Amino acid sequence: MDILERAHELEKEGHHVIHLEVGEPDFPTPQPIVQAAIDALQMGKTSYTHSMGLSELRLAIAGHYESKYQLKISPDQVLVCSGTSPAMLLAFQTMLEDDQEFIIANPYYSCYPNFIRGAGGKAVTVDITEDDGFDYNIDRVKKAITNKTRGILVNSPANPTGVVSTKEKLEAIAGLGLPYILSDEIYHGLTYSDKNPEHSILEFTDRAIVVNGFSKLYAMTGWRLGYLIAPPDIIRAIQRLQQNYFISANNFVQWAGITALTGLSDELTVMRETYNKRRQYMISRLRELGFTIKVEPEGAFYVFANARAFTDDSKSFAFRLLEEEHIGVTPGIDFGSGGEGYIRFSYANSLSNIEEALNRLEGFLKKIRR
């Protein structure tokens, strides 16, 4: 966010900043979704809903997981939230008590440890490396388990690495026998390899909480609509927290969510194919410039590139790149100690902007080499 806020200051000064730091689709929300929200507003859908969410939306979410993953999920296990961040907050506050531990990968999405700390727990990190395929090493995970361990967090496709966990890896994690697994599935639908399709953790265990939403796949970041799927024995506790903290998600936005799940196909295909073209170009160009990418991202919209040929201080590198070349990137250190020496490049920007940014980056690298 420091990078983004400084980028906005430079833009106010008249500079053309190219944003490769933001994990946000550059596409507008598809028109059928927008129209569904307008229709709902005109029909007066502006009151509170049930704290669990509209029954129609929860049914659509359950139907989505059945059609995509062949999972039988009751709508009573689904709770709709104002984004996936509130869903994680509710989940961790339900699962954790003071000093209990939850395992996360390092590098990790920056907010995960904060949610865990906010629930009174302790985030225990397990290093993942390029040699591990940027995914959990199960033996290393086993060594991190103690009598205080409450669960493990899975993020596939992953932020910042773009890695998609294999079926075998998810089965191994489910086989650890921990009380809970929290699976962040927000980037589901944004995968680019038929050889390694995405899987939901619920295919392998019923002792899991899934968080998912509409921000990434449907280009609905500002709509703030997400959901969680939880085991029947804890969904009521999560609902009670929702009632106290948030009451319910926005009524008319939930109606738009139904259209997103049931009324789109061509729009999603176009977005996914466009992301893939940008992904392929960015990987190739970054390698030409001297970045190391041992593990190609297969999902989300990020390339996590090893920049140690140029720097051991990713934050200083990112700020200098912003100030001198007006390119916004995310320093790897933002994702934990395991991210130092890396730069996260987002390809959620137009191909022409990506090309221009990487041309500027080429000039910058020549300059710092001199």
Burial class (CB in 10 A: 0-12, 13-18, 19+), 263: middle
Q: Are residues 241 and 290 in the same domain?
A: no
Across the chain, mean pLDDT equals 96
Instruction: Please tell me whether residues 254 and 272 are part of one structural domain.
Output: no
- Regarding whether 219 and 79 lie in a shared domain, the answer is yes
What CATH number does residue 159 fall under?
3.40.640.10
- Cis amide bond preceding 75, omega within 30: no
Q: In the block, which residue shows the tokens 């990434």? A: 216
Dihedral sign of CA atoms 155, 199, 295, 276 in order: negative
pLDDT < 70: residue spans in the chain: 370
Residues 105 and 130 in one domain: yes
pLDDT tens across 53-86, in order?
A: 999 999 999 999 999 999 999 999 999 999 999 9
Q: Are residues 145 and 230 in the same domain?
A: yes
How far, in Å, CA of 315 to CA of 319, rounded?
6
Q: What are phi and psi of 209, to 5 degrees?
A: -115, 125
pLDDT at 62: 98
In the prediction, which pLDDT does 265 show?
82
The domain spanning residue 22 has which CATH number? 3.90.1150.10
Same domain, 205 and 181: yes
Domain boundary among 242, 262, 282: 262
- Three-state DSSP at 202 gives helix
Tokens 């969410």 correspond to what residue? 53
pLDDT of amino acid 370: 64
Note whether 88 and 181 are same-domain residues: yes
Paired tokens of 160:
């910042």
Which pLDDT score is estimated for 16? 96
Q: Could you tell me the residue range of the domain that residue 336 belongs to? A: 2-29+266-369
pLDDT digits (tens, 9 = 90+) for 28-58: 999 999 999 999 999 999 999 999 999 999 9
